[in-house]
Amino acid sequence: AWGSYVKFEMRQGDAAASRAVFERYITIHPTLRSYLKYARWEEKQEQVAFTRSIYERALIELNDEERESQRLFTLFAQFEERQREMTRCRTIYKYALDHIGRDKMPELYQEFIQFEKKFGKKDGIEEVILGKRRLQYEEAVAADSHDYDTWFDYIRLEQAEGDLDRTRDVFERAIAQVPPVLEKRFWRRYVYIWIHYALFEELDADDMDKTRAVYQASLQVIPHSHFSFAKLWIMAAHFEVRQKDLQAARKLMGQAIGRCSLLGKEKPFKDYIHLERQLGEVDRCRTLYSKYLEVVPTNCAAWGHFAHLESALGEVDRARAIFELAVGQQTLDMPEMLWKQYIDFEINDAKAEESGAGRVRELYERLLDRTKHVKVWISYATFEASEGGGIDDCRSVMRKAYGVLKDEGLKDERVVLLEAWRALEKAQPIELQQLTEVSKLMPRKLKKRRMVTGDNGEDTGWEEYFDYQFPDDRVAPMNLKILEMAHKWKENRASKQPLEPAKETETDSGSEHKKQRVD
């Protein structure tokens, strides 16, 4: 009825009367639908100012639910866009999205994005895209507040924008999400947020007091009775070093050693020793190494580094004593590495002392009492050839090693030893070489077959393998007899076989072969 009334007045050519009808209409029926009809009518009359005023009145006079309608803001913004009022249009979009919320107006937000793509400048487009990504991250962390990867992405987004307050706010929200489970694997990403936060305050915000507070807060949050993070302790200590507060740095490193050593972590020891060595505090390094080796006496790397420290300082006797203590331990994680370091140390010292070669030989003999590994024998012989008594002593070691390996039945090791022996002989001047002795000991390589037994104990077939036959090995009489008979059979077969003609078809050859097999 109201629409018909307006049309009647328009047919009479009285626009003012039609406007009065619309005013009565929105007064009696103050709904979004009535205001939008009124605004569309004014726009058809090309009354831009009246149209704009009606949209503005709707934002004031309608109830809260209709005033926050996406449709109202969308139509208002589209009207301003048609009038080429881009600033007004952008203001409407931003007002709605900021005051009502992007999550409540997804369609309006999409309209805003399209508007910026069409009419916005580069900064405006980037701001819209940034806002869209912020909304996505907010939705993601609202769905799972312990998704630390999403928090990291959100933090990087704000850091890239350079807004310190926004970035700090996201950091604070992220670190508030403490993992609910006391298992270290669930805490790793969370702790990296703390580390990232501290670096942000130090490097980006340049706030050293805030950085120190972040490190202290992070160390208080971690349940050290269950697990700890050496990296966090070390980074906090290094920060204090950069602030030239060595006392605070040492205090932190001492706490780290106390906390982490109970959990079997060695990294705080290594970093603390490295720090004191850089500062030239040798006595502190010695104290730390002593404490380190009390906690983990099986660590060969720690023993070696301690000895090398003393060696670098020219304290040869101290270094030798440390090596002696190390090799005397009942249990070591890598004893072969430690023995090698000890021997190399004595070899280097032997170059400066005439009697040093004797200590090296003594070490090799002590090591050979523990293990008869072929590499130890080769290393011993190589030392004699290059630094020790010369090629004659080298040959003596090789002969002794060959005899030991032969008695233990280690064929592969004997081959490795002979190859190394031959290489050492070839490295000598021609007049000193004695390759004949080595050549006589070199074995023949034989291909053999053996039955393979499966896991169920049944034979699964034959396999080929290589074996070595050494000239000085004793062969069983039965084996000799079998070999002799086989050799005679082969000679008889060769003597009885007639001389074949020069031209022979493949069929004849095949028949002759079959005939010989039958015979």
Lowest mean pLDDT among 79-88, 146-155, 358-367, 404-413: 79-88
User: CA 90 to CA 247: how far, in whole Å?
Assistant: 57
Mean pLDDT over 12-27 rounds to: 74
Residue 164: what pLDDT?
A: 93
Residue 517: what pLDDT?
A: 39
Lowest mean pLDDT among 52-61, 205-214, 232-241: 52-61
If phi over 0 gives left and psi between -120 and 50 gives alpha, with beta otherwise, what is residue 409? left
Tokens 């009885």 — which residue?
A: 496
Q: List pLDDT tens digits, range 195-205.
A: 999 999 999 99
Residue 515: what pLDDT?
A: 37
User: Would you say 101 and 89 are in contact if contact means Cβ atoms under 8 Å apart?
Assistant: no
Residue 217 phi/psi, 5-degree rounding, is -65, -40
Residue 519: what pLDDT?
A: 37
Residue 482: what pLDDT?
A: 66
Percent of the chain at pLDDT > 70 equals 87
Residue 453 phi/psi, 5-degree rounding, is -105, 130
User: Would you say 74 and 111 are in contact if contact means Cβ atoms under 8 Å apart?
Assistant: yes
Q: List pLDDT tens digits, range 276-288.
A: 999 999 999 999 9
Mean pLDDT over 339-346 rounds to: 94
Residue 46 phi/psi, 5-degree rounding, is 60, 35
pLDDT exceeds cutoff 80 at 481: no
Please report the DSSP string for 103-160 in residue order. Answer: TT-HHHHHHHHHHHHHH--HHHHHHHHHHHHHHHHHHHHHH-TT-HHHHHHHHHHHHH
pLDDT exceeds cutoff 80 at 123: no
Higher pLDDT, 24 or 345: 345
User: CA 188 to CA 119: how far, in whole Å?
Assistant: 45
Lowest mean pLDDT among 56-70, 241-255, 352-366, 419-433: 56-70
Lowest mean pLDDT among 112-126, 166-180, 398-412: 112-126
Residue 513: what pLDDT?
A: 38
Higher pLDDT, 232 or 351: 232
The amino acid occupying position 133 is R
Confidence of residue 480 (pLDDT cuts 50, 70, 90): low
pLDDT exceeds cutoff 70 at 304: yes
Confidence of residue 509 (pLDDT cuts 50, 70, 90): very low
Q: List pLDDT tens digits, range 61-115.
A: 777 777 677 788 888 888 888 888 888 888 888 888 777 777 777 788 778 777 7
Mean pLDDT over 358-378 rounds to: 92
pLDDT exceeds cutoff 60 at 389: yes
Residue 354: what pLDDT?
A: 63
Residue 32, Cβ density class (10 Å: 0-12 exposed, 13-18 middle, ≥19 buried)? middle
Residue (of 158, 143, 139, 249) closest to 196 by Cα position: 158
Report the mean per-residue pLDDT for the chain. 84
Report pTM: 0.66
pLDDT exceeds cutoff 70 at 117: yes
User: Would you say 58 and 32 are in contact if contact means Cβ atoms under 8 Å apart?
Assistant: yes
User: Would you say 241 and 252 are in contact if contact means Cβ atoms under 8 Å apart?
Assistant: no
b vs e for 278-291, b when ≥16 Cβ sit within 10 Å of the residue's Cβ? eeebeebbbebbee
Higher pLDDT, 289 or 102: 289
pLDDT exceeds cutoff 90 at 502: no
pLDDT exceeds cutoff 60 at 479: no
pLDDT exceeds cutoff 70 at 208: yes
